[in-house]
Amino acid sequence: MSQQRANEPVSIARRLKYVGMAIIALLVLIIVLQNTESVRTDLLFVSITMPRAVLLFATFVIGFILGMFVRHRRG
């Protein structure tokens, strides 16, 4: 009986994790569908044209990597 209750919080935490992941996936899908128009990005001597969603995703990935680097150096 105590073993069944010990597994219950893990089940709830796992469900919350899946719900959170589903909400994030839905928000990403909405952002991608709303930002399909192309934008021109100038970086020094290079000009790149890409969908705005790709630019947003690339910015997110670069920020995430830099954040992990700063966190790793501090801790």
Residue 50 structural domain: 38-75
pLDDT at 12: 86
What is the distance between the alpha carbons of residues 55 and 49, in angstroms, rounded to a whole number? 9
Please give the chain's pLDDT, 75 residues, in tens: 555 555 566 788 888 988 998 998 888 788 878 888 999 999 899 999 999 988 888 888 898 889 888 877 765
Residue that has been written with the tokens 């990005």 in this structure: 41
* 28 plus 1 within the same structural domain: yes
* 53 plus 20 within the same structural domain: no
Domain count, the chain: 2
pTM of the model: 0.54
For residues 49 and 38, the answer to whether their CB atoms sit within 8 Å is yes
What is the distance between the alpha carbons of residues 64 and 1, in angstroms, rounded to a whole number? 43
* 30 plus 54 within the same structural domain: no
pLDDT at 29: 81
Handedness of CA 10, 11, 16, 19 (dihedral sign): positive
What's 44's DSSP letter?
T
* 25 plus 42 within the same structural domain: no
